[in-house]
């Protein structure tokens, strides 16, 4: 039989392990515990992480705006807004929570623990709540560093994707003009859980398939596959042109 001291020690170890994953040590671990407490196990909604999720979402948006403003000084407001919406989306936050392995630290009801897949909303909410907990415990600079450390790679990835976003239309224009053909796209593979899938797609033009590409969704994979095909076709056209 577990004693009260055993339970307390177990919780200390649980929260300490979470701190190691986050790369941040709390002065007030009650904030961390609250950020990990889903409404399904909280006595009242005010004792769950929902209020912290609200705060964390706003802090996340502000930091991402700052990072985008600094990293992309030549982008216009409309493009920055689009990039922000992708970086702070529920899917992106859930993916980050999953990559950190945060689900094993969340206090939630048995129904969620036993589910095959944890809902995206739960994972995203935990990530945003943890941002709020770090902010309340260590101030804005601590939250800024945590967000930057975990999102800068995603920001660069989303920016690259946006840069290549018109690859499908460019490929279609090129192939119709030069070859009289319209590209199609073939799904080759998909991996990962429902909330964090990756897709592998290849562009097909006539009888030829071109180098495949992976993406976080089918549209992204198709854009990357189109870019691969376009680069190869334009390279072939340059090689065959008379000197």
Active site annotation includes 128: yes
Question: Sign of dihedral through CA atoms 71, 200, 192, 116?
Answer: positive
Rg (CA), the chain: 23
Residues linked to residue 191 through DSSP beta bridges, in sequence order:
198
CB burial readout 58-89, b (16+ within 10 A) else e: ebbeebbbebbeeeeeebeeeebeebbebbbe
Residues linked to residue 88 through DSSP beta bridges, in sequence order:
none
Residue 199 · residue 188 · CB < 8 Å: no
- The residues, ordered by sequence, that sit 6+ positions from 29 with a Cβ below 8 Å of its Cβ are 12, 15
Residues linked to residue 190 through DSSP beta bridges, in sequence order:
199
Active site annotation includes 57: yes
164 — phi, psi (to 5°)?
A: -95, 10
Tell me which of 53, 57, 98, 222 is the catalytic residue.
57
- The residues, ordered by sequence, that sit 6+ positions from 215 with a Cβ below 8 Å of its Cβ are 161, 198, 199, 201, 221, 222, 223, 224
DSSP letter (8 states) at residue 241: S
Tell me which of 128, 137, 220, 222 is the catalytic residue.
128
Residues linked to residue 37 through DSSP beta bridges, in sequence order:
107
Residue 92 · residue 76 · CB < 8 Å: no
Residues annotated as part of the active site: 57, 128
């Amino acid at each position: 039989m577990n004693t009260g001291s055993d339970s307390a020690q177990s919780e200390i170890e649980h929260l300490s392990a979470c701190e190691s994953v986050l790369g941040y040590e709390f002065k007030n671990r009650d904030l961390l515990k609250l950020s990990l407490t889903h409404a399904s196990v909280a006595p009242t909604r005010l004792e769950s992480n929902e209020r912290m999720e609200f705060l964390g979402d706003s802090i996340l948006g502000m930091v991402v705006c700052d990072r985008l403003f600094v990293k992309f000084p030549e982008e216009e407001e409309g493009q920055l807004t689009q990039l922000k919406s992708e970086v702070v989306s529920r899917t992106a936050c859930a993916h980050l929570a999953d990559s950190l392995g945060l689900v094993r630290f969340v206090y939630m009801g048995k129904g969620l623990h036993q589910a095959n897949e944890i809902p995206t909303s739960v994972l995203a909410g935990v990530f945003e709540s943890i941002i709020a907990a770090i902010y309340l415990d260590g101030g804005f600079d601590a939250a800024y560093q945590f967000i930057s450390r975990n999102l800068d790679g995603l920001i660069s990835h989303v920016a690259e994707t946006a840069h290549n976003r018109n690859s499908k239309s460019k490929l279609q224009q090129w192939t119709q003009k030069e070859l009289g053909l319209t590209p199609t796209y073939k799904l080759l593979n998909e991996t990962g859980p429902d909330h964090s899938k990756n897709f592998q797609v290849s562009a097909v033009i006539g009888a030829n398939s071109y180098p495949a590409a992976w993406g976080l969704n089918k549209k992204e994979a198709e854009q990357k596959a189109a870019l691969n095909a376009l680069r190869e076709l334009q390279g072939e056209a340059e090689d065959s042109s008379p000197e």
